[in-house]
Structure 1
Amino acid sequence: MPVISNSTYKAPFLLGNNHLQTILPTLFRKVKGIRYLRERIDTPDGDFIDLDISPVEAHRAVILSHGLEGKSGRAYMKGMAKAFNRRGWDAVSFNFRGCSGEMNRTSATYHSGRTEDLHTVVQYLINIKNYKTVTLVGFSLGANLTLKYAGEMGGTIPAEVKCAVGISSPCDLISSAVEIHKMKNIIYSKRFLSTLVEKMKKKEHLHPAGISRDYKSIRTLKDFDDKFTAPLNGFIDAMDYWGRCSSARYIAGTAIPVLILNSKDDPILGEECFPYETAASSEKLFLEVPEKGGHMGFITFNKNGEYWHETRTVEFIEQHL
């Protein structure tokens, strides 16, 4: 019954507020010592994916999948890469389509359920880079993607893929969408929406016939997913997209050990994002719910500059190899 009830995370004094935990690392955290080497790989549908690799010449690698409108350069990506490098892992930061600094070729966009791209990265690391051990770590949107991949692959997942961790995972995208559209979270929704719209305007220049120009009607993230994400990626509308891509539908099928790290005070996750019943009846799915931590926060002060969730993630993975 892998529901972990005794989480060890304790928020530092005066940093117990969930919004402070969420915002401060984004604004102020600096992670030094990561120097990426970029490799571009082609996708079966004629697009490309840019990988930023922080190598230590290991035979094992972790694939890091970022959050909504993220990229390899985010502090949370570099922090996790550094934690794995320190323990003898190559870190492969997976930039989703259109997130590496160059717009992708096709009209399709990245989204919470595009597990075929993650599988392309997995196959590249195993078949071309010859890694013998691969593990998966995702953040927020990337966490949902990672968990969905583990669940839908089930027993067909490549033998080299040993385990996975999802941090601040919106396992139920509808529930998470309800939360992020609340007034208390307007600072997050408006920030994401502004960058998503700007990115879509750039994509419009590459695919003028296939993309709506009705930007004035886009007032919420749901509007954006209704108008752009859904039709460009084969979904009926936002609700269809969210429902079909929620990892909660798939995660019970995982054949590898999986850890979900979701803080109880995460401002963006609804109740359905905490799959207690699924974890309680599973031998492979572990759910850990610290009291504090916000969304991708888990701020920690120590000489290594390593945050709690980074230490915990590597610890879990190395325990389950």
Structure 2
Amino acid sequence: MELLPYRPHLLLRSGHLQTLMVGVLFGWRPPYAARQISIPLEDNDALIAHEELAPPAIAKGFDDSTPLNILIHGLGGDHSSPYLQRIAYRMAQRGQRVWRVDLRGSGAGLDLAWRPPHAGSSEDLASVVRAACQHYPLAPIRIVGFSLSGNIVLKMLGEAAAGALRQPVDFGRISSALAIAPPVDLHLCAANMERFSRKVYTRFYLRVLDGQVETRRARWPQWNQIARQPSIRTIREFDERYTAPLSGFANAAEYYTRASAKPWLQHIQTPTTLLIDRNDPIVDLQAFDALQLNSDTTRTVHTKLGGHMGYFGRDSQGKLLRWMEHYVEHHLLDCNSSSNHA
């Protein structure tokens, strides 16, 4: 599969337009065809991984060494996020196993975990990796995290290599990782979202998060112990009221400090790529200043005019190309090619 260069769509030549179109151009979605795997977490909660069911003619070619690709959604999403569905479907059609993972308390796992998902939940991801190793002991594992989950992936890889996870994980089983638009410095990202020019994004996320709060209030008494007033106006205020206390942090500031992946990047031993757009209005580019990376394993790929997980581009015929999805699929297939020729 040839990697096409990113060329922004002629009508979407700004980071803001690219990002705003994510909520408009949903695109096609394949039908749901997956088996659900319940993965226990350290605190007796659980989450769900959705293993894509490949067509029988393709699945019969699976063996112990068939790669397993783990895809994890961003803030406010779940396994049904359109980009996740499309990537999983196409990778299964190409003969690879795929897990779409719901972060704790999200998607099909709403009734399995009362605590909220958050950017620092690396222990949860480690549990997913352990489960993957148990299900497929010989399969190469690749992980792709989008936005908030990109931070989780990077943090987990760094902690695993540094021996900082509460339970060790065999990170050597992970053959590659990809983080798309990861908010590696949560302090900066929260401050960025408080700028006037970012209010449209804040309103969008808060509307999604408020809906999830109401769903969780109806299910979990712990959520009803938290006051509804005053009204929440920023992501920081949301994290201060809900994410931090329900996840065991003293406040939003402690949450941002402890959950940010940036200090852990230098420890990563797994081949890892960070895809960063210079015009991302959600993740402040300053977050990537003075990164301390292990140059033997970790690299950054910079793009322009892709926005935050927008990347509405053009193919060689000028037709709409969802380039982020194209890049992820190329990355995973290229990993497969590299392993076959190693």
Structure 1 length normalisation: TM-score? 0.88
Q: Partners of 1:191 and 1:309 in 2: how far apart?
A: 21
Q: Partners of 1:131 and 1:93 in 2: how far apart?
A: 20
**CA-to-partner distance for each residue in 1:105-160, whole Å, 9 max, x for gaps?**
44311100111111111111220244511100011001111111111111764332
The match for 2:35 is: 38
Shift of 1:176: 0.9
**Residue 17, structure 1, aligned to residue 14, structure 2:** yes
Task: Give the 5 Å matches for 1:65-144.
Answer: 65-101=72-108, 103-130=110-137, 132-144=139-151
**CA-to-partner distance for each residue in 1:178-204, whole Å, 9 max, x for gaps?**
111212121221122123233223333
The match for 2:166 is: none
Q: Partners of 2:11 and 2:211 in 1: how far apart?
A: 36
Name structure 2 gaps, 5 residues minimum. Answer: 163-168
> Could you tell me which of 238, 251, 270 is aligned with 1:237?
251
> Could you tell me which of 48, 51, 58 is aligned with 1:50?
48
Contact (CA 8 Å) 2:262, 2:291: kept in 1 or not? no
**CA-to-partner distance for each residue in 1:205-257, whole Å, 9 max, x for gaps?**
44435653322222221111111111111111111101111111111111111
When residues 129 and 36 of structure 1 are mapped into structure 2, their CA distance, relative to the original with a 3 A threshold, is farther
Q: Partners of 1:175 and 1:194 in 2: how far apart?
A: 22
Contact (CA 8 Å) 1:179, 1:268: kept in 2 or not? yes
Contact (CA 8 Å) 2:69, 2:99: kept in 1 or not? yes
Structure 2 length normalisation: TM-score? 0.83
Q: Partners of 1:236 and 1:154 in 2: how far apart?
A: 27
The match for 2:23 is: 26
Shift of 1:272: 3.2
Name structure 1 gaps, 5 residues minimum. Answer: 1-6
The match for 2:240 is: 226
Contact (CA 8 Å) 2:114, 2:220: kept in 1 or not? yes
Contact (CA 8 Å) 1:16, 1:292: kept in 2 or not? yes
Aligned-pair identity (%)? 25
Q: Partners of 2:93 and 2:290 in 1: how far apart?
A: 32
Q: Which has the higher contact order (CA 8 A, sep 6+)?
A: 1
When residues 244 and 213 of structure 1 are mapped into structure 2, their CA distance, relative to the original with a 3 A threshold, is closer
> Could you tell me which of 175, 181, 193 is aligned with 2:206?
193
Contact (CA 8 Å) 2:104, 2:116: kept in 1 or not? yes
The alignment yields a C-alpha RMSD, in angstroms, of 2.4
